[in-house]
Amino acid sequence: MADPANFVDIGFEEFRKFASDASMSKYEKIGFPNAYREGREEAIFADITGKLRNLNGTSSKVLDIGPGCSDLPTMLIELCRDRSHELTLIDSQEMLDLLPSGQRIEKLAAMYPQCPEFIEANRGKFDVILCYSVLHYIIVDVSFFRFVDLSLSLLAPGGQLLLGDIPNISKRKRFFASETGIRFHQAFMNTAEKPQVSFNTIEHDQIDDAVVMAIVQRARLQGFDAYVLPQDPSLPMANRREDILITRP
């Protein structure tokens, strides 16, 4: 079976097929080799909750866009149950069927943000929105700015939106051009060769610094606070991924 991490140009329909593929693990179904997520998701979830501080309260309204079917959404479901949050999960029906159900949990089978009735009914209502390891697939189906604009419209006053685990090709290049990155590459690939890095080139269909900063600026111009945040260094892809936290004052 092909390594899902090597797939390119995959989107909503492809992940629907992954969800129904019994030969794939729960991590492969969301686009990761097992080694990148197995035994690591508790640390990832701790990093998420450290940034989405609104999750630490009670009786909030929470939205998870593209939760997938690994351990992370299950941890979020348990946290929301313990803190009496209302949780909405938006994904394909095939993915949602792999997740637990319960009170105060709404499952919406849709390709976000192509769900206008949901968006219109929930403008300004969510205290927390999480979109983790999804943004780089959005480009396959919808525009970045439409996704961002509609997501911002759902935030309540004081609400937080975390666009997490963004693979920034510019950050990746900076890392692999460094001495630390060279050693990492050589050890991981078991080679004496240095990684090939080319700066000042456009990488089509990739998120780079220009895209990350454009999202931050887009949010700020609409009256939101927005920040680029590093991941905890212990996370499996922290050396080449980062997060965007957007808050509504």
Q: pLDDT value at position 116?
A: 96
Distance from C-alpha of 162 to C-alpha of 243, rounded to nearest angstrom: 7
CB 153, CB 123: distance < 8 Å: yes
> Mutual orientation of helices 169-177 and 179-189 as an angle, nearest 10°?
90
Query: Which tens digit of pLDDT belongs to each residue from 170-202?
Result: 999 999 999 999 999 999 899 999 999 999 888
The pair phi, psi for residue 79, each rounded to 5°, is: -65, -45
Query: Which tens digit of pLDDT belongs to each residue from 82-141?
Result: 999 999 999 999 999 999 999 999 999 999 999 999 999 999 999 999 999 999 988 767
- Residue 2 pLDDT more than 60? no
Q: Which two tokens stand for residue 57?
A: 């309260």
Neighbours of 7 (CB within 10 A): 12
- Residue 6 pLDDT more than 70? no
Domains of the chain: 4-164+207-232+243-247 (3.40.50.150)
pTM across the whole model: 0.93
Q: What's the average model confidence in pLDDT over 160-167?
A: 97
Conformation bin of residue 205: beta by default, left when phi > 0, alpha when psi is -120 to 50: left
| Residue 134 exposure: Cα atoms within 13 Å on the Cβ side | 24
